[in-house]
């Protein structure tokens, strides 16, 4: 509601009609997506920021979210103070006609290799300057979450909320057991699954990290992402993802979720079947044949699948002997 409050100022609810809402939406569509990330924007109106803006503008989903917030606020206000205003909200909603697969671009393997050149994985100056090269490396959420995403295709929250008990040896294969736990729920029933750890993840010392956390009595694998409120994945995004984006390590138009799309795309290029990719990613299969009559991919075969993913962390030095 910050943008709406700034745009409308002290305007009363009764004064807001279809014209005012339409003008607000037109301004949002011109607003750069980096608005208010510089103190220069603080005293400016949204129109002034839009006029000075350069680069990508707000996405349709973001604009729609602002419109829905305003509609909810006005609906509540109008219940208490009836008005004759009639707003055709459908005209303010941005319709995205792209196919689902085209809505979020995937990372490429080379772009991920650039990401993993960051100081987080090779040595940073201090905890408050993790993107400036230095001599410190810390095994925590900022280090491991992107690595696990790149070799599992899991959702950000699924990785960020992992507990030490979620790393288990099953039939001789080290896996992440994604389940509903005290740390949080899963998106749907298909999300409950076991993901074998890729050989590269083991090389980097992930099991040593897990054992260290267990020895320290930690229940959460990444206690640094724990807050009194909010999701673990949300904390990761606010603390670390935004910094990576500002440092230019994440390509424009992409975000941490683009890694999940990368995994699916990379495996499809390796001729991995849709059913196997769905079992890895936790997708629900839409066809009756695949969803009802095809059984889950065996762990040993799924291990082969994750090891087909390109090595994008090859320059990271393992911290174990």
CA dihedral 222, 224, 228, 229 (to 10 degrees): -70
Q: What is the pLDDT of residue 286?
A: 58
Bridge partner residues of 251 (DSSP): none
Q: What is the pLDDT of residue 7?
A: 80
Show the 3-state SS of the chain. CHHHHHHHCCCCHHHCCHHHHHHHHHHHHHCECCCCCCHHHCCCCHHHHHHHCCCCECCHHHHHHHHHHHHHHHHHHHHHCCCCCCCCHHHHCCCCCCCHHHHCCCCCHHHHHHHCCCHHHHCEEECCEEEEECCECCCCHHHHHHHHHHHHCCCHHHHHCCEHHHEEEECCEEEEEECCECCECCCCHHHCEEEECCHHHHHCCHHHHHHHHHHCCCCECCHHHCCCCCCHHHHHHHHHHHHHHHCCCCCCCCCCCHHHHHHHHHHHHCCCCHHHHHHHHCCCCCCHHHHHHCCCCCHHHHHHHHCCCCCCCCCCCCCCC
Q: What is the pLDDT of residue 150?
A: 97
Q: Which two tokens stand for residue 204?
A: 């980097």
Q: Is the pTM of this model over 0.75?
A: no
Phi, psi angles (nearest 5°) of residue 216? -85, 0
Q: What is the pLDDT of residue 261?
A: 92
Q: What is the pLDDT of residue 308?
A: 97
- CA dist 28 and 169 (Å) reads 50
**Mind listing the domains of the chain with CATH numbers?**
2-97 (no CATH), 102-306 (1.10.443.10)
Q: Which residues of 60-77 are buried (b: 16+ CB within 10 A; e: fewer)?
A: beebbebbeebeeebeee
Q: Which two tokens stand for residue 196?
A: 């074998």
Sequential pLDDT tens for the chain (321 residues): 678 778 877 776 667 777 888 888 888 888 887 787 677 888 888 888 888 876 678 877 788 888 888 788 777 877 777 765 667 777 666 655 545 554 568 899 999 999 999 999 999 998 888 889 999 999 999 999 999 999 999 999 999 999 999 999 999 999 999 988 888 777 776 788 999 999 999 999 999 999 999 999 999 999 999 875 678 988 898 888 888 988 889 988 888 889 999 999 999 999 999 999 999 999 776 554 444 434 588 999 999 999 999 999 999 999 886
Q: Which two tokens stand for residue 180?
A: 């509903």
Q: Map tokens 């008005």 to a residue.
A: 83
């Amino acid at each position: 509601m910050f943008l709406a409050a700034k745009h409308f100022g002290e305007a009363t609810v009764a004064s807001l009609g279809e014209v005012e809402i339409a003008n607000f939406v037109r301004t949002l569509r011109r607003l750069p997506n980096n608005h208010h990330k510089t103190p220069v924007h603080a005293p400016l109106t949204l129109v002034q920021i839009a006029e000075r803006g350069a680069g990508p503008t707000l996405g349709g989903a973001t604009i729609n979210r602002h419109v829905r917030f305003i509609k909810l606020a006005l609906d509540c206000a109008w219940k208490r103070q009836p008005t004759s205003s009639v707003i055709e909200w459908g005209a303010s909603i941005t319709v995205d006609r792209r196919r689902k697969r085209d809505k979020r671009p995937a990372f490429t393997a080379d772009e991920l290799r650039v990401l993993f050149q960051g100081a987080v994985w090779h040595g940073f100056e201090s905890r408050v300057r993790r993107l400036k090269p230095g001599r410190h490396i810390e095994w925590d959420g900022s280090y491991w979450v992107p690595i696990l995403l790149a070799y599992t295709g899991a959702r950000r929250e699924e990785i960020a909320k992992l507990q030490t008990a979620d790393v288990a040896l099953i039939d001789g294969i080290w896996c992440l057991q994604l389940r509903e736990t005290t740390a949080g729920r899963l998106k749907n029933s298909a999300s409950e699954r076991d993901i074998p750890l890729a050989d590269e993840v083991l090389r980097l010392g992930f099991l040593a990290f897990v054992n260290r956390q267990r020895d320290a009595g930690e229940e959460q694998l990444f206690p640094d992402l724990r807050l009194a409120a909010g999701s673990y994945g949300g904390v990761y995004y606010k603390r670390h993802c935004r910094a990576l984006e500002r440092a230019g390590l994440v390509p424009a138009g992409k975000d941490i979720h683009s890694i999940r799309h990368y995994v699916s795309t990379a495996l499809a290029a390796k001729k991995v079947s849709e059913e196997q990719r769905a079992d890895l990613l936790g997708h629900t299969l839409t066809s009756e044949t695949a969803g009802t009559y095809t059984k889950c991919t065996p762990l040993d075969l799924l291990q082969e699948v994750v090891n087909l993913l390109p090595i994008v962390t090859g320059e990271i030095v393992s911290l174990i002997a």
